[in-house]
A = this chain, B = another copy of it.
Amino acid sequence: MYIGIDLGGTNIAAGLVDDNGALINTIDCPTESSRKSEEIADDMIALCEKLSENNGYKMSDIKGIGIGCPGTVNNETGEILYVPNLGMDGFNLAGYIRNKINCPVHLANDADCAALGEYTANGNNAKSFILITLGTGVGGGVIINGKLYTGFNGMGAEIGHMTLVHEGELCGCGKKGCWEAYASVTALKRQTMDAMEKNPQSKICQIYKRDKKVSGRTAFDAAKQGDKVAREVVKQYAEYVASGLISVENIFQPEMIVIGGGISKEGDYLLNPIMEYVNKYRFNKHLRQTEINVAKLFNDAGIIGAAMLCK
């Protein structure tokens, strides 16, 4: 039995995970990130103890604890290197917990943990595997020969910040034209609102009135009802996603690419227009091709993957 922890800016979630990567039970508490690093770490230990006890285990039954956190970490030492908004830079989180409870503890970036979770859910045997998470931003996690690839400084696989449109839309990173500025759910919401403004008669506007907000689902919901404007929004968004996926495929030729994030729940409504574009423009037309799928785990991927860091 393993424990996976997802350390976020708002909440800390922990999950009990078995040897096969199945999630047994979860528990959480607020992060309160303004506190001292040691206090946050102590809360993580308390969560682990409570989670074990709740499920009839002793801490000595836990073979390892894995932690995923946003930003950049040193996977080898377990130190937090650069995590904006968490105030824990320079703190050896894994080392601190390891010393207190005598259990192996591993630390990794949260997008990398999610990749490891989806890799597990997809059978653990792809020679090369990439998870692309479409959310507030576009995240990436790369697994080569069963191991996370994180670059020489731990900051690798910021795939969302490859250029899609040279000198295009301004991205949060300060550069223009990043894939993230076109293929994130944030970008889809902007694209949806632009279409609403230009087409006040479209079904998108009716759905907006019903939901009182624009989400990543708004355009998809209207498209499913046959709305032409919404279909165009979805098609254009899918092409932005697909264009970046082709780049990822051409660079890595990974055995599998999985598309994650809440929007991947749209399933074939998202995947079909993506694959139409990918099949038309992918470079490799002669050899075995990369398999592209939507995610299997959704929100649990991070916790399961964190636990799998210990295997």
Contact = CB atoms under 8 A, between A and B. Distances in A.
Interface of A: 72, 81-82, 126-128, 140, 144, 149-159, 161-168, 173-177, 182, 239-240, 243-244, 246-247, 250-255, 281, 283-284, 286-290
Contacts of A149: 144, 252
A191 to B, nearest CB: 13
Contact of A284 (B128, B155, B252, B254): B155
B281 A175 contact: yes
A162 to B, nearest CB: 4
A24 to B, nearest CB: 33
Contacts of A167: 243
Which 5 pairs between the two chains have the least Cβ-Cβ distance?
Answer: A151-B253, A162-B247, A156-B253, A152-B255, A175-B281
A175 B163 CA distance: 16
A254 B159 contact: no
Nearest to A277: B175
Given A166-B240, A288-B153, A251 B253 contact: no
Given A158-B251, A163-B243, A153 B284 contact: yes
B253 A150 contact: yes
A157 B284 CA distance: 12
Contact of A175 (B144, B161, B246): B246
Contact of A244 (B163, B239, B283): B163
B287 A175 contact: no
B158 A283 contact: yes
A281 B163 CA distance: 11
B153 A253 contact: yes
Copies of this protein, total: 2
Given A240-B166, A283-B161, A251 B251 contact: yes
A303 B175 CA distance: 38
B250 A159 contact: yes
20 contacts: A144-B144, A144-B149, A149-B252, A151-B252, A152-B253, A152-B255, A152-B288, A154-B287, A155-B253, A156-B252, A159-B250, A162-B247, A163-B163, A163-B246, A165-B166, A166-B182, A166-B243, A175-B246, A175-B281, A175-B283
Contacts of A159: 250-251
Most buried by B among A150, A158, A247, A286: A247
A243 B150 CA distance: 21
Contacts of A127: 152
A21 B87 CA distance: 47
A150 B253 CA distance: 8
Contacts of A165: 165-166
Given A246-B163, A254-B151, A286 B82 contact: yes
A297 to B, nearest CB: 22
Contacts of A82: 286-287
Contacts of A163: 163-164, 243-244, 246-247
